[in-house]
Amino acid sequence: MPQTVLILDFGGQYTQLIAKRVRKAKVFSQVLPFSASIQQIRSFDPVGIILSGGPASVLQTDAPACSPEIFELGVPVLGICYGMQLISHMLGGKVTAAQKREYGLQKVNVKADNELFKSLPGSLDCWMSHTYQVDRLPEGFRTIAWTANCPVAAMADEKRRLYGLQFHPEVTHTKQGNDIIHAFLYDVCGCEGDWEMTDFARAAVEDIKKAVGEGTVLLGLSGGVDSSVVAALIHRAIGDRLHCVFVDHGFMRQDEPRLVAEIFTRTFPVSLVAVDAAERFMQKLKGVSDPEQKRKIIGAEFVAVFRDEASKLGHLDHFAQGTIYPDVIESGAVPGATVIKSHHNVGGLPKELGFTSLIEPLRMLFKDEVRELGLVLGLPREMVMRQPFPGPGLAIRVIGDLTAQKVELVRLSDAILREEIGITSLDTEINQYFTVLSGIRSVGVMGDERSYDYAVAIRAVTTDDFMTADWARIPYEVLAIISRRIVNEVKGINRVLFDVTTKPPASIEWE
C-alpha cells in the first residue's frame, strides 16, 4: 500500500484538482467526504490530511465540520480556504466576514521561515476567492502570509504540524502552488513519492475484475481518448468478455468511422460492432435548432441504437463509460454544481438499458491523466494524444438546424484545418481545434459572380484541463493558408472567422 494523503471534501469546486496535484507529485491520494469518521480516516493510516475549500461559512449553524480528532492524530493537516477557516474555528480562533471580499489574483506576502514557503520569493501571485477570513489565530499558530486586505493569508502551528492557506495552491493561476503542495507533501508529511500511474492502472484493473466477476461488459466506443483508455483497462481485466459498440451517428470527422474500426481491430482484439446510424439520427434532428434539444435528441437516440445493438448481442451484465471528471462536474452530477450542458455520455443510459452496474474507471481523472494512463497501458501515442471530440460530434458544430449539406461543410473545413495544423508543429501546442459552421450567410464575390454563402469559424484553444481555456495564437501566415484553402476548396463557404474568446466566459464548443 503506498503512503496515503487523505483529502476531506467540503464541497469546493477544486477538490479534485487538489487530488490531481497530489497524484502529480507521485503521492497516492484518496478523497473522502468531510463527514468521514475518525475510524475510517485511521483505517487509511494517512501520512497527511488536506481539508478542501467549500461554499459554506464556518459561522452558519449547520456548518460542515470534520471529526475534531483528526487534529490529535499527530498527522500533518493542511486546510485550504474553508479548510483553513475550519481549523481556526475548531481550535479556538475566530473567523469573521472580510471587510472586502477578495476574488482573483492577489499579491500575497510570505515569510520564508517555514517549511511551506522556505524556497519561495517573498511575494507570490495567488488565487483568492473568499468572503470570510481568520481574524484571530488559534493558540499555537502564527501568521506566515498576508495580503493588503487579509491579515492572515496563511497560518502555521509547526509543533502540531497544522497549516492553513486562505488562497488556492491547487489552481494553475497560483504559480507556485505546485511548490507549496510539494513542500507540504515532502517536507512536512515526509512523503517518498511512491505512487505512479501504473499503480492506478493496476488498482483499476483489480477493481474492474472484482466488479465484473465472471460477467460481461458492454462499452460504447467513440474512438476518442477516454473510451479507448476504458477499453484498454477493461480488456486487460476481463479480455474477450468486453463487447464494444461503435455508433456512427453521422457526425464524425472526415474518415473517422473507418479509422476507429481499423485502429481498434489492429490495436486490441476486442469484439467490436460498428453501426451506421446516420439516417436515424438525421431524421430525429430535422428542424431542431436549439443546442440543448439537439444534445438531448442525440443522447436519446444513442440509447435507442445501443438498446437495439445490445439486444442483438444477447444478455450483457455491465455497462462501461469513459466519463472523466470534467464531464461529471459539467453535467451537474456533483451536488451543488449547476448543469452547464447535458453531456450525452453522462446520465441515464445504463438504467434505461437495464444494466445493473455502471463502470466508470476514469470518473476522477482529468484529461492529461487519462492520456498518461493510456500510454501506461500501451495504447498507441497517435490515439492517446488525439484531441477531444464531443459525443454529439459535428452536430453541435453546426449552429442551428442541421442538414446533411451543412454537416459536410463543417466536416470538409475541419479536415483542412486539421491537415494544415498537423503540418506545422502547432498540433502539440494547441489542445483542441476545429471549425464551426456559423448560422451566418454573407455576401462575397467569386470570380465575377456574387455569392451568398456560409461563414465558418476556426476555434482553437490551449488549456490544461478544458475547464478554462485560452484561444490559441495561431500565426497569421498559417491562418492565411487555412482560410484560403477553405474558401477555395469547400463550395458553400465564402468567409472564415477566427474565434478569439477565452473560456470562461465562452465555452470551447459553440453549442
Q: Which residues bind ligand XMP (CB under 6 A)?
A: 330, 341, 343-345, 388, 390-392, 432, 466, 503, 507-509
Q: Hey, what long-range contacts does 364-369 have (CB within 8 A, 24 or more apart)?
A: 364/16, 364/19, 364/31, 364/325, 365/20, 365/324, 365/325, 366/16, 366/17, 366/20, 366/324, 366/325, 366/326, 366/465, 367/225, 367/324, 367/326, 367/465, 367/466, 368/464, 368/465, 369/20, 369/23, 369/197
Cα 14 from Cα 172, distance rounded (Å)? 11
User: Smallest distance from the beta carbon of 258 to ligand XMP, in angstroms?
Assistant: 21
Choose, from 89, 130, 168, 344, the residue flagged as catalytic. 168
Reduce the DSSP state of residue 198 to 3 states and report it: helix
User: Smallest distance from the beta carbon of 233 to ligand XMP, in angstroms?
Assistant: 18
Backbone angles phi, psi at 361, to 5 degrees: -70, -10
Choose, from 66, 81, 191, 244, the residue flagged as catalytic. 81
Instruction: Tell the residue number behind the cell numbers 491523466, with chain if given.
Output: 369
Q: Is 214 in the active site?
A: no
* Nearer Cβ to ligand XMP (3/321): 321
Strand spans (E) along 209-254: 217-220, 242-248
User: Smallest distance from the beta carbon of 352 to ligand XMP, in angstroms?
Assistant: 17
Contact in structure between 21 and 181 (CB atoms under 8 Å): yes
User: Smallest distance from the beta carbon of 295 to ligand XMP, in angstroms?
Assistant: 6
Q: Hey, what long-range contacts does 204-212 have (CB within 8 A, 24 or more apart)?
A: 204/233, 204/361, 205/233, 205/236, 205/237, 206/237, 207/361, 208/233, 208/234, 208/237, 208/238, 208/359, 208/361, 209/237, 209/238, 211/318, 211/357, 211/359, 212/237, 212/238, 212/241, 212/317, 212/318, 212/359
* Nearer Cβ to ligand XMP (106/345): 345
* Nearer Cβ to ligand XMP (88/432): 432
* Nearer Cβ to ligand XMP (86/410): 410
DSSP one-letter code for 184: I
User: Smallest distance from the beta carbon of 147 to ligand XMP, in angstroms?
Assistant: 31
* Nearer Cβ to ligand XMP (241/344): 344
Cell numbers that stand for 369 in this block: 491523466
Cα 213 from Cα 80, distance rounded (Å)? 40
User: Smallest distance from the beta carbon of 333 to ligand XMP, in angstroms?
Assistant: 13
User: Smallest distance from the beta carbon of 466 to ligand XMP, in angstroms?
Assistant: 4
Handedness of CA 497, 492, 283, 304 (dihedral sign): negative
User: Smallest distance from the beta carbon of 504 to ligand XMP, in angstroms?
Assistant: 9
* Nearer Cβ to ligand XMP (48/391): 391
Q: Is 168 in the active site?
A: yes
DSSP assignments along 70-99, one per residue: GGGSS--EEEETHHHHHHHHHTT-EEEEEE
Cell numbers that stand for 168 in this block: 488556492
Q: How many CA atoms lie within 13 A of 98 on its CB side?
A: 22
Residue type, 148: A
3-state SS, one letter per residue, for 346-384: CCCHHHHCCCCEEECCCCCCCHHHHHHHHHHCCCCHHHH
* Nearer Cβ to ligand XMP (301/330): 330
> CA-based Rg of the chain, rounded to a whole angstrom?
25
* Nearer Cβ to ligand XMP (24/503): 503
User: Smallest distance from the beta carbon of 246 to ligand XMP, in angstroms?
Assistant: 14
Contact in structure between 470 and 508 (CB atoms under 8 Å): no
Q: Which residues of 245-259 are buried (b: 16+ CB within 10 A; e: fewer)?
A: bbbbbbbbbbebbee
Choose, from 102, 115, 170, 330, the residue flagged as catalytic. 170
Cα 180 from Cα 170, distance rounded (Å)? 9
* Nearer Cβ to ligand XMP (79/388): 388
* Catalytic positions, written as ranges: 81, 168, 170
